[in-house]
Each structure stands twice: as structure tokens, then as C-alpha cells.
Structure 1
Amino acid sequence: MWVGCLNIVRCSMHFRSLPTVEHDSVYLRPLRASDMAAWASYLNNPAVYEHTSWNYPTIEDLSGYLGNETSGEPDSRLRLAIASKDGDKLVGTIGFHSVAPVNKSAELAYDLNPEFWGKGIATAVGNVLVGWAHQHVGLVRVQATVLESNLRSIRTIERMGFAQEGLLKSYRHVRGTPCNFFMYARLAGSGNCT
């Protein structure tokens, strides 16, 4: 059983377990050192790589995500393994980065081995994680930025109930080139200050 603090609200809430995913073939768990080679391999697959902002990640680069679910920092990121129920192999990852505790917001990030595309995995796991973040962590806003060329991820984010808020021009450099990203958000409430 996982015990840790996501620290989005300065560790005022502790979690006894990860969200439970209702999917026939996958579940969520903390990342393991044994996952790093498989993760690096599929992230460097051209079909995946061309639509991400990763910069040819190595096993060493990705190992920085190990144990982040138990970090004591208020703005710590969270990245979890999406693992197969049959064989416990890494299928993908999902989590939050760019966490802003004071605003109770975070940015969703996920990736999936192309062998598992088109099976509804990212949508199912994303819905569970975002719902958990709203209901159990206390996040008000979960946002996602998607390269404008990543049509598959745009469809996935929209199936998760995210609303497009606009196009951010030259928002992030991707391997040295300024690229446009769509901004999406899923809110826990209305967010109106008036």
C-alpha cells in the first residue's frame, strides 16, 4: 500500500492509496527502477517522440521521477506507472508536473507505449487521476498543454472532459524550436471571483 503526500496543499492531506483504475488491462502504481529502460525506449520511438516535448530522454533522465510520490516538497511533481495487469509491465506513465500549491493547480502529463494506443487506456486512467486530484487532493484546476500537431492527444484530452482555452503561440521550446501548444483545463468548480 502506498503512503505519501502529494504536497499540493502543503501536506495537509495524506493519501493511503493511489486512485483505482477501472480498466480491463491496466492499473496505476509507483514507478520502479525496472521500468526506466522500457519508458526510455518507447519515449524515443519516433511515433511518440515527434508529438512530445521530451529531449531524447535517457534512463538517467527518467530516474529523477523515481520516488517522487513521497517527496516532502510543496510543489513536487507526481508521475505514476500505468502497468499491465498481466505481467506488471510498464504500458505508460501519467501524473502532474508544474504543480502550483498556492493556486491548487497542476498540469497533467501522460505518455503511452504505441503498442497500447487506441484501447482507451489514457482516457480511462486520466479521468480517474483528474477526478482523484479534484476530490481527494483538493486541486481546483488541472490543465494540459498539447502540441498543436498532436491530434491523438487532443482527442484524448477532449474525451477526458477538458475544455480548450486557447492556442499558446511559441509557448515552449521543443528541441530548440519554439512551438505552439493548445491549453486545456478541467476545473473542479466555476472559478469565478466576482
Structure 2
Amino acid sequence: MIQHAASTSHIAIPTLTTPRFVMRPLRRTDAAALLPTLGEEAQCRYLSRPAFASQEELWNWLADPDWNGRTWIAEDADGTVVGRFVAVPDEPEGVEEIGYITCAEWQGSGVARECSAALIAYLFDTEGARRLVAEVDIENLPSVRLLERLGFARTALHPAHEETHKGVCDIAFYALDRDRYRAERELDTHD
């Protein structure tokens, strides 16, 4: 689980596009758009921290200057914020951890799958990442299903691995290697 949520790394954050969304760098006004989701305990159940109490608190988390990840904010054609997607450099070099959250009113509409697929393609095809990883609370079944639909495979299960605001959590680790991603994509184009 990604611990911080900023977009302040020194690496440029390009705009990515999908059929329905534009994924752009974080702006201060995004705190107001994300607060209705990240301000609700039920929506933050699988986050590493409890819900946010204010836009200022959320902005301070989103813009934490000590965090080395990058944030993309997805918005629809009307400019409505629909979700947040992140990539965080991991060890060893060439490995990135991804994360995502869909705004409550957009959950179940394919936002996470569409935007995560665009981020995965960008990280592999443009940046040359060799492996992507993700950590997920095993109780977060929608996230587990999403990772598996995106081609990630579970690499480890760590019982009682992390303590969060909801208690001790069992965490599953998932990974997707560039070669496997490209091979599966090649198969999809020949079907």
C-alpha cells in the first residue's frame, strides 16, 4: 500500500489519454474534488490512513515534498475529476509501484481499469520500466480483481503485514513484468 500520495517528484508528469479520460498532473484544486471520496471513512478503509478532515489536510498529503512518487489525476471530457493514479519508484531500478483510487460516484464504471491500463502502457512502453508492482489489502476484492484483470500475478501473501487505522492487515503483493505484459498484448492483437 502506498503510504504517501504526492506528485512532487522531479520527473516530468506527461498528460496521458484514454478513450474516455485525460490523465494530467496534480493541481491544488484537486483536493476539493477528491475530498468527498477521501473524506469518507468507508472509502478510506483500505488506505494506509483514516479519512481526511479538510481540503488543507488532504492537499498537504497529496503535495508532500518528501514523497518521491508521481500523481496523475483522471478527468472526464467535462473536466470532472474521476480518480487518482500514482507511480512510485521501487527497488531495484526499473521497478515502479502503482496505485489508484476512483472517486466514489465513478466506482464500478471502469475508470480504474481504463486509466491503470494507460499508466501501465506508459510506464512500460515509454519509460522502459521492467516490472510493476502493487500491494493490496486482501479484503479489498475489487482491487484484487482489477490487478488480476490487468495481468498482474500474486507473488506473495503476507499475513498480519501492515497495521493501519483499521487494524492489522494481510497484504498481497502483485507484479507484472514487461515481457509478460508485451507477450499478452501480442496475443490480444492476434485474437
How do 1:27-176 residues align onto structure 2 when only pairs under 5 Å count? 27-57=22-52, 58-64=54-60, 65-66=62-63, 76-86=68-78, 88-97=79-88, 99-100=89-90, 102-175=92-165
The Cα offsets for residues 155-180 of structure 1, whole Å up to 9 and x where unpaired, read as 11111111111212222221172211
Question: For the Cα contact (< 8 Å) 2:82–2:111, is it kept in 1?
Answer: no
Determine if the alignment matches structure 1 residue 18 to structure 2 residue 15.
Answer: yes
Aligned equivalents of 1:102 and 1:46: distance in 2? 34
Is the contact made by 1:78 and 1:96 (CA closer than 8 Å) also made in structure 2? yes
- What TM-score does the superposition give when structure 1 sets the normalisation length? 0.76
Supply the AA of the counterpart residue of 1:63.
W
Contact residue 35 and residue 90 of structure 1 kept, 8 A: yes
CA displacement at 1:126 relative to structure 2: 0.3
8 Å CA contact retained: 1:171, 1:179: yes
* Cα displacement (A) at 1:112: 0.8
User: What displacement does 1:104 show?
Assistant: 1.3
Distance 1:182 1:114 in 2: 24
Query: Are the equivalent residues in 2 in contact too, given 1:168–1:180 (CA < 8 A)?
Result: yes
Note the residue ranges of structure 2 that are not aligned, 5 or more in a row. 1-7, 181-191
State the alpha-carbon separation in 2 of the partners of residues 155 and 185 from structure 1.
14
Larger displacement relative to structure 2 (172-181 or 134-143): 172-181
RMSD over aligned Cα, in angstroms? 2.6
Q: Alpha-carbon deviations, 1:123-145, whole Å to 9, x = none?
A: 01101101110111121111111
**What 5-or-longer segments of structure 1 have no aligned partner?**
none
C-alpha contact (below 8 Å) 1:47/1:114 kept by paired residues? no
Rounded Cα–Cα distance in structure 1 between residues aligned with 2:164 and 2:136: 12
Q: What is the SS of the residue equivalent to 2:59?
A: helix
Distance in 1, matches of 2:92 and 2:48, equals 26
Tell me which amino acid in the other structure corresponds to 1:126: S
Identical columns (%): 23
Sort the Cα spacing of 1:161 and 1:6 in 2 relative to 1 into closer, same or farther, 3 A: farther
